[in-house]
Structure 1
Amino acid sequence: MTILDPLTAADGAPQGPKAPRPRSAGGGFGRYLLVRFLLIIPTIFILVTMVFFLARLTGDPITAAQGGRLSPEELDALREAAGYNRPVFVQYLEYLGQIGTLDFGTTITTNRPVVEVLATYGPATFELVFYALIVAFAVGIPLGQRAAYHRDKPEDAVYRVLAIFWYAVPVFFGGLLLKLVFSVWLKWLPVAGRADVDSEIQMQLLPFRTGFYTIDAIRTGNPEVLVDVLAHAILPAIALGLLTAGIFLRLVRTNVIGTLATDYVDAARSRGVAEGRLLRTHAYRPALIPIITVIGLQVALLLGGAVLTETTFEWRGLGFQMAEFLENRDFVAVQGIVALLAVIVAVTNFLVDILAAFIDPRVRY
């Protein structure tokens, strides 16, 4: 039986069943954006909660940091003043309220607001992570492309072994090897620190310091200061960046090989397109989309590796400070630093998801 559409029945034209209306791309992107944004809250909540209760497994922060240094009476007085003698769940709810107002507490060992510690040492860590990402992109992506081009050949095997080696070697051990070779034996690069004393003095004379040494070095107007800052950043960036470069190498290799096996690449190959052009034009760019989607996870990995990297190279950032706070059992400071890193990782993943949705609309649905 033929169903006539009332709008066209007067014309006598038979109409079949209506096709489903396609979803609006804008609506799909809006829903995708809202869901990804709402995921930031539980991510931060879970990380902060885990750190809070794990820190409490050793007792209250006052006893952990000052136990053995103060008398029991003094410890009791400090615990009562800080509110650590109340039930843990009550302390937890108050801590969540403090974080909601961007109050991360006060360090026990140095009596400084945690926000001040974050503002002072945060730029150093972010600068190191930025340089490490540059190393990861510059090394991992081209080598992954070459490994795919030479698939199942000895060169491919070498690249795959390198990727596993870079990921498996501990960051501190790789950093020590780099220092031994390039600083001690060859004397090409500085051993540790973020800059020489002379460069530090020139940057301190600036009316306002950003904490990002590269920016501050440029603002001094002295090229020697900039060269010195970049020289100090090379080895830490390589030690930390190779960790992620191995992941990028294997990811690019796998995706390029998969793209080369698709029908449209076979069609281009049948038209006589050279293999080199196929790799650059048809296979390379689509293979970069998965790289974008995992950048957020790699930022989390780099921030975690920054603790060992900064300790190895005496790079005074959040990782270096966190190692000192852990040694002194100052869990209030550790909680604040981890909370900030959780916010950074969550926001980074959100921004990366948005970028991936613009590049590949399929991820919106």
Structure 2
Amino acid sequence: MARSSKAGGALGRYVLVRFLLIIPTVFILVTTVFVFMRATGDPITAALGGRLTKDQLAERIHAAGYDRPILVQYGEYLAGIARGDFGTTLSDHRPVTEVLTTYGAATLELATYAVIVALLLGIPLGMLAAYYRDRSSDAVLRVLAIFAYATPVFFAGLLLKLVFSVGLGWLPVAGRVSTNGEIEMRKAGADSGFMLIDAIRTGKPEVVGDVLQHAALPSLALGLLTAGVFLRLVRTNMIGTLGREYVDAARSRGVGERRLVTSHAWRPALIPVITVIGLQVALLLVGAVLTETTFEWRGLGFQLAEYLKARDFVAVQGIVALIAVVVALTNFVVDIIAALVDPRVRY
């Protein structure tokens, strides 16, 4: 009973500390973005300079408050974020919160697909590399993992489009759904922002298939980025696990190497993968900018690229701030899962 109470207390302290760390993490990221954005000048001049006269620019700068001291602007920016107000975009005059809610679901959906692809490829191939360690197949898999991680996501996307869309004609070139699929969703009143959920709500398998076909290439392009990390991580940890005493004991009892890999070694090897997933979310969200642009997947990454072209710093600040919050919360959740899976983490 005492041991259970002690373990519960340790977990509670661990959760509290990890949750409190979210605040400084988000604060530092938001502050960094604000400073870098302001270092290039005020957003009005950046977005509209050259299209307005000096008097018109000065009038708009004063109306927006960008001629006030930088500390005053910073304080108001933080206060707005605390209220959930990220400002209004300069290029299309939309509340940033509306942009976040409109396009956030698309990016979340793509990131989810990419994580699934990375897990389905990285974990089995990592187990295979560990099973055939120091053989030619192991070397090939390790080289492929390096290529998967090192290849720019936009280049991987272009290659996939060239092969599977242009060459073979199997999959769509761009977009999230075809026109017919979109019409069916509107008829069904499905507008959650998550295409797969909306397609399922139509009750038509062909619409679901259409959505999955459009998601295949961008998910694969982005998922390969993380699959290489998972492959090497699973391989390294599984090889370490195969050298443990309890595995040696099972081996001495005549348990085959394949069974050792599939029954004894793979679960402990997944604990580092769970931890790394949180770190990879940031990489996936950064990669989503290039992936969405390559495949015209209209999510936050696509919009961020458009706002950067328009030098709309207000919108850029809002999107990056949201990404910072998502990354911090994801790392918090992953840390809790890791603590539940492996009690050693919480101490």
Query: Who is 2:87 aligned against?
Result: 105
By percentage of residues, which structure has more helix? 2
Query: Who is 1:232 aligned against?
Result: 214
Give the aligned residue type for 1:331: F
Q: Given the alignment of the two structures, is residue 122 of structure 1 paired with residue 87 of structure 2, yes or no?
A: no
Q: Given the alignment of the two structures, is residue 252 of structure 1 paired with residue 234 of structure 2, yes or no?
A: yes
Does the Cα contact within 8 Å between 2:190 and 2:202 map onto a contact in 1?
no
Quote how far apart the aligned CAs of 1:208 are.
Answer: 5.0
Query: Who is 2:155 aligned against?
Result: 173
What CA distance in whole angstroms lies between the structure 2 residues aligned with 1:61 and 1:108?
Answer: 8
The match for 1:323 among 305, 309, 326 is: 305
- After TM superposition, the runs of 4+ consecutive aligned structure 1 residues lying more than 6 A away are none
What CA distance in whole angstroms lies between the structure 2 residues aligned with 1:278 and 1:218?
Answer: 40
What CA distance in whole angstroms lies between the structure 2 residues aligned with 1:283 and 1:22?
Answer: 27
What CA distance in whole angstroms lies between the structure 1 residues aligned with 2:14 and 2:99?
Answer: 35
Give the aligned residue type for 2:242: L
Query: Who is 2:225 aligned against?
Result: 243
Of the structure 1 ranges 261-270 and 174-183, higher mean CA displacement relative to structure 2 is found in 261-270
3-state SS of 1:288 partner: helix
Q: Given the alignment of the two structures, is residue 143 of structure 1 paired with residue 125 of structure 2, yes or no?
A: yes
Give the aligned residue type for 1:341: I
How high is the TM-score relative to the length of structure 2? Answer: 0.98
Q: Given the alignment of the two structures, is residue 277 of structure 1 paired with residue 253 of structure 2, yes or no?
A: no
What CA distance in whole angstroms lies between the structure 2 residues aligned with 1:303 and 1:119?
Answer: 16
What CA distance in whole angstroms lies between the structure 1 residues aligned with 2:263 and 2:139?
Answer: 24
Q: Given the alignment of the two structures, is residue 355 of structure 1 paired with residue 337 of structure 2, yes or no?
A: yes
Give the aligned residue type for 1:113: P
Q: Given the alignment of the two structures, is residue 222 of structure 1 paired with residue 200 of structure 2, yes or no?
A: no
Quote how far apart the aligned CAs of 1:283 are.
Answer: 0.7
Percent of aligned positions that are identical: 70
Quote how far apart the aligned CAs of 1:229 are.
Answer: 0.6
3-state SS of 1:294 partner: helix
Quote how far apart the aligned CAs of 1:57 are.
Answer: 1.3
Q: Given the alignment of the two structures, is residue 131 of structure 1 paired with residue 113 of structure 2, yes or no?
A: yes
Q: Deviations over 1:148-200 (max 9, x none)?
A: 01110000000000000000100000000000000001000000011111111
Query: Who is 2:25 aligned against?
Result: 43
What CA distance in whole angstroms lies between the structure 1 residues aligned with 2:343 and 2:76?
Answer: 42
Query: Who is 1:9 aligned against?
Result: none
Counterpart mapping for 1:180-219 below 5 A: 180-219=162-201
* Unaligned ranges ≥5, structure 1: 1-20
What CA distance in whole angstroms lies between the structure 1 residues aligned with 2:101 and 2:290?
Answer: 20
The match for 1:287 among 256, 269, 290 is: 269
3-state SS of 2:134 partner: coil
Quote how far apart the aligned CAs of 1:263 are.
Answer: 1.0
Counterpart mapping for 1:44-123 below 5 A: 44-123=26-105
Q: Given the alignment of the two structures, is residue 30 of structure 1 paired with residue 12 of structure 2, yes or no?
A: yes
Q: Deviations over 1:272-301 (max 9, x none)?
A: 111111111111110000000111111111
The match for 1:304 among 286, 303, 326 is: 286
Quote how far apart the aligned CAs of 1:23 are.
Answer: 8.1
Cα pair distance change 1:157/1:85, threshold 3 Å: same
Quote how far apart the aligned CAs of 1:221 are.
Answer: 1.6
Give the aligned residue type for 2:210: D
Quote how far apart the aligned CAs of 1:204 are.
Answer: 2.5
3-state SS of 2:258 partner: helix
Q: Given the alignment of the two structures, is residue 338 of structure 1 paired with residue 320 of structure 2, yes or no?
A: yes
Q: Deviations over 1:340-365 (max 9, x none)?
A: 11111111111111111111000001
What CA distance in whole angstroms lies between the structure 2 residues aligned with 1:143 and 1:22?
Answer: 38
Does the Cα contact within 8 Å between 2:199 and 2:211 map onto a contact in 1?
yes
3-state SS of 1:111 partner: coil
Does the Cα contact within 8 Å between 2:296 and 2:302 map onto a contact in 1?
yes
* Unaligned ranges ≥5, structure 2: none
Instruction: Please say which structure displays the higher CA radius of gyration.
Output: 1
Aligned residue pair count = 345
